[in-house]
């Protein structure tokens, strides 16, 4: 049963709906799981506080509580307030799937959740240090960026909750990013595309682990942590670009060229590309638009090089290589592994600027590079900078992070790139050095302390 069937055709889930005061938690960064599962909310049927929590379920992306109201007898499942359910938790009847919370995202009505899966994923428990009290950070998600954003939470729990061991429930493809100090990793060998579903095999695995611990808390897994506090080197092992070396390093720019979200020259081109998808012709005729993107990148490079002759370029992305001979180092590939990920991160870390279309593929580039030029589609204006691992708290944000229209021509990309390279010294001195302290001011975390 859908939310429209439950509440009538006028009902529509709104992401900007009233979120209320949030859950009542003793520590806003932790949700109790065992020995006592979180239940500090009112029954969605009768309003009685604190329904009985009978069990928890780890079905994949979502972590649920199974509740029964002592007054009205209602029984239902409800999201625990973690991950992208921190604001609005869906409550629904398990058998009928009737929704009891009209403002929450109705994920249980999505086709992927029609029935629980019947297959198993390989899941491995890797123990680095035994603990009796643990915090479980669930990173499972169907979107690459969501996994990475939640993973960034690990640093806070490692640094501020020394009395607990941190356990990561993590997709195998992100295992290379596990930071030192994590107590355990529960590594799930699943593709991102498989994550959006009800997976009993994951719950069976987690339930087999929970009795090992005297206390289990859930990490909130905030979707947009403060990037400027994050030491990205703890995750990748690669130090980000130091602003103090901006003028001493040879200028280098990396273009991130993905084939599933393209840079279009015109609105008509974008319309035609989308039309090909509807006609089932994107895999064949759509290659013309991929080649057109490469042409836009080459034109941008040539324009930049005319103004900054000693600049060098790299191209990365999940795509076949080719087309940049003599102009850029082409590191694109159609198969990803740890070595490729690390090679790309080293490339970002030597880059004064990374250039790419808005998307989660920009999180690691901006975590390591000094600056950014992002091509921002109009339908992503509401997600401005959510894909940017912002390393600065001061005015250097405005100078080093540039956003251009989705149909920006190569000349616009080039003008921003040349401006960043040419004007950095004066801008940095005027806004960072020439201050009342007459010295650079720290901007963020330890790893970024020299970036002011």
pLDDT band of residue 11 (cuts 50, 70, 90) is very low
Q: In what order do the strands lie in the sheet with 353-357?
A: 329-330, 312-316, 252-256, 353-357, 371-376, 401-405
Total residue length of the chain: 452
3-state DSSP helix/strand/coil % of the chain, to nearest 5: 35, 20, 45
The CA-atom distances, in angstroms, between 265 and each of 272, 286, 363, 411 are 12, 14, 24, 12
Q: Mean pLDDT of all residues in the chain?
A: 90
Say how many domains are in the chain: 2
Percent residues over pLDDT 90 in the chain: 76
- pLDDT > 70? residue 33: yes
Is 199 found in the same domain as 252? Answer: no
My answer on whether 344 and 361 are in the same domain is yes
The last residue of one of the domains, among 207, 225, 243, is 225
The verdict on 271 and 352 lying in the same domain is yes
Say whether both 203 and 326 belong to one domain: no
Pair (216, 245) in one structural domain: no
Q: Is 105 exposed, middle or buried (0-12, 13-18, 19+ CB in 10 A)?
A: buried
Question: What distance in Å separates the CA atoms of residue 435 and residue 384, rounded to the nearest whole number?
Answer: 30
H helical segments located in 24-124 = none
Mark whether 54 and 146 lie in a shared domain: yes
Phi, psi of 57 (to 5 degrees): -135, 130
Q: How many CB atoms lie within 10 A of CB 114?
A: 11
Same domain, 213 and 309: no
Whole-number pLDDT of residue 104: 85
* SS3 assignment, position 294: helix
Confidence of residue 20 (pLDDT cuts 50, 70, 90): low
Distance CA 133, CA 155 (A): 18
CA-to-CA separations, 117 to 1, 62, 114, 203, 422, in angstroms, rounded = 19, 14, 9, 12, 56
CA-nearest of 385, 352, 191, 354 to 258 is 354
pLDDT digits (tens, 9 = 90+) for 320-339: 898 899 999 999 999 999 99
Per-residue pLDDT reduced to its tens digit, 271-291? 998 898 888 887 778 788 889
For 394, the domain range is 234-451
| Sheet with 184-188: strands ordered across | 30-34, 215-219, 133-138, 165-171, 184-188, 123-127
Percent of the chain beyond pLDDT 70?
Answer: 91
pLDDT number for residue 352: 98
Confidence of residue 6 (pLDDT cuts 50, 70, 90): very low
Please say whether the beta carbons of 220 and 31 come within 8 A.
Answer: yes
Question: What is the model's pLDDT at position 109?
Answer: 93
User: Does residue 427 register a pLDDT over 90?
Assistant: yes
Q: Give CA separation, 275 vs 64, 121, 268, 285, in Å.
A: 39, 36, 10, 11
Quote the pLDDT of residue 87.
85
- The verdict on 183 and 260 lying in the same domain is no
Roughly how many angstroms between the first and final C-alpha of the chain, as a whole number? 54
For residue 88, the model assigns a pLDDT of: 86
Q: Are residues 39 and 171 in the same domain?
A: yes
Pairing status of strand 133-138 against strand 165-171 = parallel
Same domain, 134 and 277: no
Same-domain status, 274 and 308: yes
CA 282 to the chain's CA centroid? 27
Q: Could you tell me the CATH number of the domain that includes residue 269?
A: 3.40.50
Structure pTM? 0.88
Instruction: Specify the pLDDT at position 283.
Output: 78
- Give residue 125's pLDDT: 98
- Over residues 371-382, the mean pLDDT reads 94
Each residue's pLDDT tens digit, 78-136: 999 999 998 889 999 999 999 997 678 899 999 999 999 999 999 999 999 999 999 99
Note whether 132 and 178 are same-domain residues. yes
Q: What is the DSSP letter of 101?
A: -
User: Which of 225, 248, 277 corresponds to the end of one domain?
Assistant: 225
Point out the domain boundary residue: 225, 244, 267. Answer: 225
């Amino acid at each position: 049963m859908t939310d429209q069937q439950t509440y009538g055709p006028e009902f529509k889930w709104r992401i900007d709906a009233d979120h209320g005061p949030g859950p009542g938690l003793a520590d806003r960064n932790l949700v109790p799981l065992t020995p006592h599962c979180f239940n500090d909310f009112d029954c969605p049927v009768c309003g009685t506080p604190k329904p009985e929590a009978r069990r928890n379920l780890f079905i994949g992306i979502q972590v649920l509580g199974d509740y029964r109201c002592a007054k009205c007898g209602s029984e239902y499942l409800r999201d625990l307030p973690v991950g992208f359910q921190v604001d609005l938790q869906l409550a629904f009847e398990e058998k009928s799937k009737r929704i009891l919370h009209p403002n929450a995202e109705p994920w249980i009505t999505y086709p992927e959740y029609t029935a629980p899966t019947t297959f198993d994923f390989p899941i491995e428990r890797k123990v680095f240090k035994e603990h009796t009290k643990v915090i479980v950070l669930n990173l499972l998600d169907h979107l690459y960026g969501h996994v990475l954003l939640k993973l960034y939470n690990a640093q806070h729990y490692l640094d501020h909750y020394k009395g607990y061991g941190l356990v990561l429930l993590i997709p195998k493809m992100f295992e290379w990013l596990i930071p030192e100090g994590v107590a355990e990793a529960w590594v799930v060998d699943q593709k991102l595309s498989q994550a959006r579903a009800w997976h009993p095999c994951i719950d069976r695995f987690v339930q087999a682990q929970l009795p090992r611990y005297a206390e289990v808390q859930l990490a909130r897994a905030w979707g947009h942590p403060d990037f400027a506090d994050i030491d990205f080197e703890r995750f990748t092992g690669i130090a980000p670009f130091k602003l103090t070396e901006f003028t001493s390093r040879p200028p280098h720019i990396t273009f991130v060229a993905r084939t599933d979200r393209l840079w279009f020259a015109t609105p008509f081109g974008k319309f035609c590309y989308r039309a090909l998808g509807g006609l089932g012709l994107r895999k064949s005729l759509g290659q013309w638009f991929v080649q057109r993107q490469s042409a836009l990148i080459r034109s941008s490079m040539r324009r930049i090089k005319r103004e900054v002759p000693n600049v060098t370029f790299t191209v990365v992305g999940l795509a076949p290589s080719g087309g940049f001979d003599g102009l850029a180092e082409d590191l694109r590939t159609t198969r990803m592994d740890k070595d490729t990920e690390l090679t790309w991160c080293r490339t970002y870390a030597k880059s004064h600027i990374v250039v790419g279309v808005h998307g989660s593929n920009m999180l690691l580039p901006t975590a390591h590079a000094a600056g950014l030029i992002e091509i921002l589609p109009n339908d992503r204006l509401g997600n401005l900078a959510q894909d940017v691992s912002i390393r600065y708290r001061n005015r250097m944000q405005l100078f080093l992070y540039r956003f251009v229209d989705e149909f920006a021509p190569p000349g616009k990309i080039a003008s921003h790139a040349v401006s960043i390279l040419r004007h950095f010294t004066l801008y940095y001195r005027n806004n960072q050095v020439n201050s009342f302290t007459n010295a650079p001011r720290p901007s963020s975390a330890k790893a970024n302390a020299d970036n002011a």
